[in-house]
């Protein structure tokens, strides 16, 4: 790097240019390489490493991949492929594995001899993971030996060394994302599991074993039926109308694998992949598939001997209603839009996919006329319903365009005709609507009460949706007509949205379960039918207060539980003192002490989800040193076993060989012989480290227990920190009334204006779509027809719920 000139700091010359060597550029601008540093970027690291193993599988050298998420936030990915080469690189004069791990655009994917197709084609994958990891250890099994090298933040800290003999071949990579780079280090089990399941479907015969040490869950994915099985499982529980149509063929070096099946419902569910990468935005392979499907069904209608009532030209939207399909293409040189690979851009793929799919559909229709007839009937029925929906849409559009006299009777409109300053509040029921109408500023705030819960549009056909009175009222009030899945021209779409009457559309529902359900239904409606409103930032969620605290003339509205805790902390009087031996806490010192106790409580709750009881964790936190996470050579940490015996626990270390990796577990045995087993990585987790630090501060602050609460002439003892927190919070509650709002109707108009509608004081959440693909999956899972997805979601997240309001 050139040294910056000191004499002329404003000069811009050669000395101003900074050269980032090695992987430092990745650490400086990580979003350029992995898209973001939030949870999506965190998952992207795992995908990059797993994609390397998948490439080995596609090349025919690997049939098993093991992935494990550890308690400290690290991840291990192991495969039984050929193993990364460890011999010296002819140009770099370093072991090849070190080159792969430390040099951008280094790998075996740039000539089509090593890998004919690959997912991580940019060649920055594993080196970027290395750069953005606190540490990365690579273990290679090759040539009958086991080689290992360790890196820290992308820099090798050891040489490639032989650590033992190996009976098989493969690569194991363990890395821990750097907390200095990433906003979060908590992987989503659901997101990773879904990705691994997809990869197992797309690579028939490949087994992916996923273990999550945080929840002790382990699941193995293997689908010898491939994509056909994928479609069958997607349609599980659905009333299907024919056997699965599938096709697998290669043309000009491009392999096309697809399967499709119609069910009796109305939702289109199409998944597309290119070289195993989920292309959420579709691309040329999806365009080719859609063209072939529409042409195939229309060709059959023209040529087949079917009743005259079915003889009509169908559009693409007509033939995709109720369709479940998976399209996977594998090609040598994929062109993705962006490093995150969400859309395939290879123009030659359109014709290849279209030809292969069209021929497969034709063959299936000729051999299975019963299936063909069922599909045609389904599509024609969809065409009629779509025509009815178009007429209903035009009727709504014409009515909305005539005059304000056509607006819904329950709408209390605003005086302003300027959409940029106008706001529409959607409220539940006439009670809340009455308060909102009286409390609003009629110059720019409009109120639309909804009666009951609107239709779940995720499960509703367009014509039925437009027949619903509440939805029709909402559409008419807003102005633009909803999307029906048909691809309108940009000009027509702009003309439609030019009728939007409000640039703030605010969902204002009660703070209870019903209110949350209505809000979810409305968000589903906007996401599926008015996605452009969300993208433009026009949809908001009001944040009415959860609590009203009052006493005599005093009144205060409180947003949530955290603010209530802060309010109660502030109510602890100046006349209160807490004593620990000779030490005294009052005022700001006492508030700080209580905040640390509150923080510790939250960490203990998190640790409980890992299977550590509160008493055991507190015993561990009381040990004056951080427990080491390595427990080197299975040796017990000096002093810790004796300390735990005093607390009523025996400590043993168990060793286990899992996926060619030696794993250590700490086993704590209580006096009644209850065993609590946890992977030693827990002791390098953020939860343990922060809890240990906070508990150490508390013990240093309060060297003597019990504690004493002193007020004026009175004094009472409390056993420990949590008893102290509860006692003082209970005292703070005395003398005030706290009302928990269940409904907006409980507020009078003045209160609703002051807390929720006054632009100078209110708090809104703006609805946005950070990841359209993820949003689509969540709406499908939680609002769609299939019960299994919702049940799995509830079961997986049940233990994380701290307060259930039912």
Task: Give the model's pLDDT for residue 400.
Answer: 53
pLDDT above 70 coverage of the chain, percent: 86
Among residues 185, 73, 176, 72, the alpha carbon closest in space to that of 134 is found at 176
- Confidence category of residue 452, pLDDT binned at 50, 70, 90: confident
User: CA 597 to CA 749: how far, in whole Å?
Assistant: 39
Q: Please tell me the least confidently modeled range out of 513-522, 605-614, 627-636, 640-649.
A: 627-636
Measured from the Cβ of residue 198, the count of other Cβ atoms closer than 10 Å reads 20
The token duo for 472 is: 């029709």
Name the average pLDDT for the chain.
Answer: 83
- Confidence category of residue 786, pLDDT binned at 50, 70, 90: low
CATH of domain 24-221: 3.30.565.10
Does 510 belong to an annotated binding site? Answer: yes
For the residues 39-43, what does the mean pLDDT come to?
A: 89
Residues 377, 430, 486, 512: which is the catalytic one?
512
Task: Give the model's pLDDT for residue 635.
Answer: 55
CATH class for the domain made up of 556-740: alpha beta
pLDDT digits (tens, 9 = 90+) for 617-675: 998 898 888 876 655 445 566 778 888 888 899 888 888 877 667 778 888 998 888 89
CATH of domain 409-544+749-769: 3.40.50.670
**What letters, b where the CB count within 10 A reaches 16 and e where it falls short, cover 389-424?**
bbebbeebbeebeeeeeebbebbbbbebeebeebbb
- Has residue 724 got a pLDDT over 70? yes
- Has residue 422 got a pLDDT over 90? yes
- Has residue 122 got a pLDDT over 80? no
Give catalytic status of residue 493 as yes or no. Answer: no
Residues 178, 269, 510, 606: which is the catalytic one?
510
Task: Give the model's pLDDT for residue 14.
Answer: 46
- Is the domain spanning 226-384 CATH 3.30.230.10? The answer is yes
Does 488 belong to an annotated binding site? Answer: no
- Confidence category of residue 797, pLDDT binned at 50, 70, 90: low
- Has residue 738 got a pLDDT over 70? yes
Placement of tokens 């908590």 in the chain:
186
pLDDT above 90 coverage of the chain, percent: 36
Highest mean pLDDT among 312-316, 436-440, 492-496, 653-657: 436-440
Does 693 belong to an annotated binding site? Answer: no
Write the DSSP string, 284-307.
HHHHHHHHHHHHHHHHHHHHS---
3-state secondary structure of 171: strand
Highest mean pLDDT among 223-227, 235-239, 682-686: 223-227
The token duo for 483 is: 């999307």
Give catalytic status of residue 510 as yes or no. Answer: yes
3-state secondary structure of 752: helix
> Across the chain, which distance is largest between two alpha carbons, in Å?
100
Highest mean pLDDT among 83-87, 124-128, 709-713, 792-796: 83-87
Among residues 361, 367, 380, 383, the alpha carbon closest in space to that of 260 is found at 361
Give catalytic status of residue 589 as yes or no. Answer: no
pLDDT digits (tens, 9 = 90+) for 469-511: 888 889 889 988 887 765 566 777 888 888 899 999 999 988 7
Domain ranges of the chain: 24-221, 226-384, 409-544+749-769, 556-740
For the residues 375-399, what does the mean pLDDT come to?
A: 78
Give catalytic status of residue 428 as yes or no. Answer: yes
pLDDT digits (tens, 9 = 90+) for 238-282: 889 999 999 999 999 999 999 999 998 888 889 999 988 888 888
Strand partners, 717: 708
User: CA 396 to CA 390: how far, in whole Å?
Assistant: 10
Strand partners, 147: 140, 162
pLDDT digits (tens, 9 = 90+) for 166-176: 889 999 999 99
User: CA 421 to CA 105: how far, in whole Å?
Assistant: 51
Task: Give the model's pLDDT for residue 784.
Answer: 60
For the residues 341-367, what does the mean pLDDT come to?
A: 92
Among residues 96, 199, 190, the alpha carbon closest in space to that of 138 is found at 96
Residues 269, 428, 659, 777: which is the catalytic one?
428
Please tell me whether the overall predicted TM-score, pTM, comes out greater than 0.85 for this model.
Answer: no
Among residues 144, 142, 143, 147, the alpha carbon closest in space to that of 160 is found at 147
Q: Of 14 and 445, which is predicted with more confidence?
A: 445
Task: Give the model's pLDDT for residue 285.
Answer: 95
- Has residue 2 got a pLDDT over 50? no
Residues 268, 486, 514, 660: which is the catalytic one?
514
Task: Give the model's pLDDT for residue 401.
Answer: 46
């Amino acid at each position: 790097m050139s040294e910056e000139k000191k004499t002329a700091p404003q000069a811009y010359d050669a000395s101003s240019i900074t050269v980032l060597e090695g992987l430092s550029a990745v650490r400086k601008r990580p979003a350029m390489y992995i898209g973001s540093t939030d949870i999506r970027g965190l998952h992207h690291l795992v995908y990059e490493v797993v994609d390397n193993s998948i490439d080995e599988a596609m090349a025919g050298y690997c049939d098993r991949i093991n992935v494990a998420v550890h308690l400290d936030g690290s991840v291990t990915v192991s495969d039984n492929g050929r193993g990364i080469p460890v011999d010296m690189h002819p140009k770099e004069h370093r072991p090849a594995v070190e080159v792969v791990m430390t040099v951008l655009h280094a790998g075996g994917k740039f000539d089509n001899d090593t890998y004919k197709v690959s997912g991580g084609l940019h060649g920055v994958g594993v080196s970027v993971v290395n750069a953005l990891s606190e540490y990365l250890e690579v273990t290679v099994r090759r040539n009958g030996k086991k080689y290992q090298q360790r890196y820290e933040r992308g820099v090798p800290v050891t040489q490639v060394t032989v650590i033992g003999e190996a009976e098989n071949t493969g690569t194991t990579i363990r890395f821990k994302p750097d907390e200095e780079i990433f906003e979060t280090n908590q992987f989503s089990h659901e997101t990773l599991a879904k990705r691994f399941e997809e990869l197992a479907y797309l690579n028939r015969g490949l087994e992916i074993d996923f273990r999550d040490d945080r929840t002790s869950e382990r699941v193995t994915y293997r689908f010898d039926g491939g994509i056909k099985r994928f479609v069958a499982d997607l349609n599980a529980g659905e009333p299907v109308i024919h056997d699965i149509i599938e096709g697998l063929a290669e043309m000009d070096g491009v392999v096309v694998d697809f399967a499709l099946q119609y069910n009796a419902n109305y939702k289109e569910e199409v998944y597309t992949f290119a070289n195993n990468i989920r292309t959420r935005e579709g691309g040329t392979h999806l365009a080719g598939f859609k063209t072939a499907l529409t042409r195939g069904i229309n060709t059959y209608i023209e040529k087949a001997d079917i009743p005259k009532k079915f003889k009509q030209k169908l559009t693409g939207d007509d033939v995709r209603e109720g369709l479940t399909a998976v399209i996977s293409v594998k090609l040598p040189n994929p062109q993705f839009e962006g490093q995150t690979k969400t859309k395939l851009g290879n123009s030659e793929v359109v014709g290849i996919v279209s030809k292969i799919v069209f021929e497969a559909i034709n063959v299936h229709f000729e051999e299975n006329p019963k299936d063909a007839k069922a599909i045609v009937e389904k599509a024609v029925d969809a065409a009629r319903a779509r025509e009815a929906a178009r007429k209903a849409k035009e009727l709504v559009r014409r009515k909305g365009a005539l005059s304000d006299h056509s607006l819904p009777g329950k709408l209390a409109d605003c005086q302003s005709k300027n959409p940029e300053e106008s706001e529409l509040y959607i409220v539940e029921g006439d009670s809340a609507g009455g308060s909102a109408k009286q409390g609003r500023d009629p110059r720019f705030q409009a109120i639309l009460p909804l009666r009951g819960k609107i239709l779940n549009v995720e499960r509703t056909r367009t014509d039925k949706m437009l027949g619903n009175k509440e939805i029709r009222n909402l559409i008419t009030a807003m102005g633009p007509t909803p999307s029906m899945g048909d691809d309108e021209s940009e000009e027509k779409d702009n003309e439609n949205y030019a009728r939007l009457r409000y640039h703030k559309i605010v969902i204002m529902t009660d703070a209870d379960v019903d209110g949350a359900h209505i809000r979810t239904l409305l968000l589903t409606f906007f996401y599926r039918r008015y996605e452009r409103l969300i993208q433009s930032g026009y949809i908001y969620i009001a944040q009415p207060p959860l609590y009203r605290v009052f006493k005599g003339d005093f009144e205060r509205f409180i947003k949530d539980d955290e603010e209530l805790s802060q309010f109660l902390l502030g109510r602890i009087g100046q006349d209160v003192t807490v004593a620990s031996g000779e030490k005294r806490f009052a005022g700001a010192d006492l508030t700080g002490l209580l905040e640390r106790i509150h923080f510790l409580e939250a960490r203990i709750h998190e640790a409980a989800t890992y299977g550590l009881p509160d008493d055991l964790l507190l015993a561990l936190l009381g040990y004056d040193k951080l427990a080491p996470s390595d427990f080197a050579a299975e040796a017990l940490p000096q002093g810790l076993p004796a300390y735990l015996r005093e607390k009523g626990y025996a400590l043993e270390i168990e060793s286990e060989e899992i996926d060619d990796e030696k794993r250590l577990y700490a086993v704590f045995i209580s006096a009644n012989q209850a065993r609590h087993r946890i992977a030693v990585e827990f002791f390098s987790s953020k939860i343990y480290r922060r809890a240990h630090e906070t508990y150490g501060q508390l013990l240093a602050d309060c060297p003597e227990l019990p504690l004493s609460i002193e007020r004026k002439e009175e004094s009472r003892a409390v056993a420990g920190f949590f008893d102290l927190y509860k006692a003082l919070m209970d005292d703070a509650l005395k003398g005030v009334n706290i009302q928990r709002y269940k409904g907006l109707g409980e507020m009078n108009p003045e209160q609703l204006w002051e807390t929720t509608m006054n632009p100078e004081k209110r708090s809104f959440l703006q609805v946005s779509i950070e990841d359209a693909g993820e949003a689509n999956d969540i709406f499908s899972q939680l609002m769609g027809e299939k019960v299994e997805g919702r049940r799995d979601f509830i079961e997986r997240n049940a233990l994380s719920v701290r307060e259930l309001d039912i």
